[in-house]
Amino acid sequence: MIYSDSDIKTLKGIGDKKAQAFNKLGIFTVYDLISFYPRKYEDRSLIKNISDLNDGDTCCIKAVAADDPKLSRIRRGLDIVKFRAFDSTGLIEISYFNQSWMKNTICKGEQYYFYGKVEKRYNRAAMTNPTFEKDEAAGNKTGRIVPVYRLTSGLTQKNVTDAVRVAVDTFADTVPEILNPEIRERNELVQARFAYKNIHFPADLGSLELSRRRLIFEELFLLSCSLGLRKHGIKKENGFIISSDGIRDFLDALPFTPTSAQIRAIDECSIDMKSGQVMNRLLQGDVGSGKTLVAAALIYNAFRSGFVSALMVPTEVLAEQHCKNLRELFSFSGLRIELLTGSTTAAEKRRIKSELKTGNIDLIIGTHALFSDDVSYTNLGLVITDEQHRFGVKQRSAIVEKAGNPHILVMSATPIPRSLALIIYGDLDISVLDELPPGRKPVETFLVDDSYRQRLLSFINKQVEGGHQVYIVCPKVEDDPSEELKSVKRYTEDLMRKLPGISVEYIHGKMSGKEKDRIMSSFMRNETGILVSTTVIEVGVDVPNASLMIIENADRFGLSQLHQLRGRVGRGSEKSYCVLVSDNTGQDVLNRLNILCKTGDGFVISEEDLKIRGPGDFFGERQHGLPEMHIADLGVNVNILQKARDEATALLESDPELKREENRALKEQVGFLLEKNLILN
């Protein structure tokens, strides 16, 4: 029997009803069950002497009931069973609330294990509602490290533990070993068999740690192999050959000198694009690192080689901004640029579409309208998506399907720790802009509490009077009586009242695209002094005249997100400020926010964010395509991740399609992961 496919109902003791409850936890097969790792453990392995107990200990004792339990009613609905118990070192008082049956369960003179929290007053020890077990009870749990599982209605801790016990007893010895002996040895990993047994029912703490390490490694290794295998599949595609011979003309026409990071990224992409294979590359760079220039260089190369490029961005405002900037940048070259968005007029659209068909346009810039059904391309050689995490990963493959096999560059403004990027974008090669253009002034960042309200107001006033503009970010659109969070609408009303001479507008995600575009455009033209907003302004809009950003309830946001928001200011030549407002007094929260005051390096910040809040935060929902991790934590297990990746890479180099017999078990597991579509992108 193949354990991975066996329904849990084949296990002794699991009928339809229990199976349904397990299904709710996402457990369908025996494999699901043995990889349903405990949420935590209770260490009942160490049995303490009563005389050694300390107040607050949670531990196990072995004691004899000293008297018959006494049941007394305290008031209606509250009764208590009390008795004393002893071991060779001392006496303890034990009480159970509302468990009157305990009166007839505990027998004077018999020995039991009790596990619970100790209260100690004036040298007298007590336990309330401890779990207990009779000394010789079959399958007893005390005296061991006991797993604690996540539960759902219809399942008790005992149900799950028993089911896992049966699964482990039946199958742990036959679990296929996917890590070969060399890998295990190099990385000091225990065998699968041992790990699956000891992660559930550890012999001791050491075995538990070894098992956990092995399973974390295994999970990350499997993931790396799956991504590697897919990348291998993609890489084989033939790509158009785009030469970079003319790039000097482009560089010479620039109004500034590219940074060495920009040059390196351009080189890396150019090598891909003339290799004969399709480029699939991620360009990562902090806000303001100059990703657009890299994109422009590649667009120029494509143009010189006779290919069309498409630049896709998430909003119309951004599309217009890019169009304006790039027309200027390319004015020397005769490169023809058009803009295609939702608000392009029908006649315009018709013209543009027909010109795209005849290859009369060299660069088309737009929103996802670029790849709607009625648009077709001739000679499309390069597709660049900007601020990619706004696009579903599926959209990327839709483009590839539609447009033949263009080279693809994905630009992401969210610096992601390298470890995570390698996993999330496992099928892409990565270039990093780790250097800002010279002369950038860091955005001076402060953390203040509500007592600064009045001063903040005069600061806003001063900035606007000096001809600058201000962003204010609130976590909510409207007031919500249940939460004391700042809302965009209320805040705007307040400002209008308190600063009557200044034009204030607000913007949020629930508005129509047209409305948002109107407000953004008026802000860009400096017709609005203050823009109150939710996080919708996070995406790459460039208003160099904005010199102050105030972020309310700053503790509500992730560090990377705050950094991203802050990147909206400091884009001009003036000194800029970011004020984080939070009334949260928790030391952890303050430490976290203070990181932003201390550094402007998005990569440093993202590493911290990953440590503190885990990987989920980098991309809202699960659209990053990461499968749910059972045991590994991408924020914490960075070292193991690196090792697992290196091993996976080495293994795939020697056996790219996992065809060798010794890799059969691994291939099966990888196939399982890919087939279940656990990895989406």
Residues that bind ligand ADP (CB under 6 A): 256-259, 262, 285, 287-293, 413, 437, 540, 542
Residue of the chain from 116, 540, 570, 625 that contacts Mg ion (CB under 5 A)? 540
Token pair of 600 as six digits: 């402007």
3-class SS at 378? coil
Q: Which partner, Mg ion, ligand ADP, none, binds residue 140 by CB below 5 to 8 Å per kind?
A: none
In the bound state with ligand ADP, the residue whose beta carbon lies nearer, of 192 and 311, is 311
Number of residues that bind Mg ion (CB under 5 A): 1
Residue 535 identity (one-letter amino acid) = T
Q: Which partner, ligand ADP, Mg ion, none, binds residue 290 by CB below 5 to 8 Å per kind?
A: ligand ADP
Nearest Cα residue to 313 out of 389, 373, 393, 381 = 389
Contact window for Mg ion (CB under 5 A) among 29-37, 220-228, 398-406, 537-545? 537-545
Q: Which partner, ligand ADP, Mg ion, none, binds residue 258 by CB below 5 to 8 Å per kind?
A: ligand ADP
* Shortest separation between residue 485's beta carbon and ligand ADP, angstroms: 29
Nearest Cα residue to 477 out of 464, 490, 465, 467 = 490
Q: Which partner, Mg ion, ligand ADP, none, binds residue 289 by CB below 5 to 8 Å per kind?
A: ligand ADP
In the bound state with ligand ADP, the residue whose beta carbon lies nearer, of 61 and 413, is 413
In the bound state with ligand ADP, the residue whose beta carbon lies nearer, of 53 and 311, is 311
CB 417 within 8 A of CB 607: yes
Burial class (CB in 10 A: 0-12, 13-18, 19+), 355: middle
In the bound state with Mg ion, the residue whose beta carbon lies nearer, of 202 and 540, is 540
Cα gap 117→287, rounded to integer Å: 51
* Shortest separation between residue 180's beta carbon and Mg ion, angstroms: 45
Q: Which partner, ligand ADP, Mg ion, none, binds residue 437 by CB below 5 to 8 Å per kind?
A: ligand ADP
Within positions 437 to 466, which residues make up the interface with Mg ion, using CB under 5 A? none
In the bound state with ligand ADP, the residue whose beta carbon lies nearer, of 262 and 492, is 262
Q: Which partner, ligand ADP, Mg ion, none, binds residue 288 by CB below 5 to 8 Å per kind?
A: ligand ADP
* Shortest separation between residue 510's beta carbon and Mg ion, angstroms: 25
* Shortest separation between residue 641's beta carbon and ligand ADP, angstroms: 27
In the bound state with Mg ion, the residue whose beta carbon lies nearer, of 412 and 528, is 412
Q: How far is CA 63 from the centre of its chain?
A: 48
Residue 390 identity (one-letter amino acid) = R
Neighbours of 546 (CB within 10 A): 26
Binding flag, residue 288, Mg ion (CB under 5 A): no
* Shortest separation between residue 524's beta carbon and ligand ADP, angstroms: 14
Q: Which partner, Mg ion, ligand ADP, none, binds residue 174 by CB below 5 to 8 Å per kind?
A: none
Contact window for Mg ion (CB under 5 A) among 85-93, 218-226, 305-313, 533-541? 533-541
Cα gap 93→82, rounded to integer Å: 7
Q: Which partner, ligand ADP, Mg ion, none, binds residue 412 by CB below 5 to 8 Å per kind?
A: none
Mark residue 240 as left, alpha or beta (left: phi above 0; alpha: psi -120 to 50; beta: remaining). beta
Cα gap 327→336, rounded to integer Å: 8
Contact window for Mg ion (CB under 5 A) among 277-285, 319-327, 532-540, 626-634? 532-540
In the bound state with ligand ADP, the residue whose beta carbon lies nearer, of 474 and 605, is 605
* Shortest separation between residue 564's beta carbon and ligand ADP, angstroms: 10
In the bound state with ligand ADP, the residue whose beta carbon lies nearer, of 324 and 525, is 324
Cα gap 159→586, rounded to integer Å: 39
3-class SS at 310? strand
In the bound state with Mg ion, the residue whose beta carbon lies nearer, of 540 and 558, is 540
Q: How far is CA 377 from the centre of its chain?
A: 35
Tell me the sheet residues that pair with 283: 411, 431
Neighbours of 310 (CB within 10 A): 26
Neighbours of 80 (CB within 10 A): 18
Q: Which partner, ligand ADP, Mg ion, none, binds residue 256 by CB below 5 to 8 Å per kind?
A: ligand ADP
Measured CA angle at 591 (ends 585, 595), to 5 deg? 135
First to last CA, the chain: 32
Torsion angles phi and psi, residue 154, rounded to 5: 95, -5
In the bound state with ligand ADP, the residue whose beta carbon lies nearer, of 38 and 570, is 570
Matching residue, tokens 């996802």: 368
Q: Which partner, Mg ion, ligand ADP, none, binds residue 293 by CB below 5 to 8 Å per kind?
A: ligand ADP
CB 113 within 8 A of CB 143: yes
Contacts of 270 (CB under 8 A, 6+ apart): 244, 247, 298, 301
Q: Which residues bind Mg ion (CB under 5 A)?
A: 540
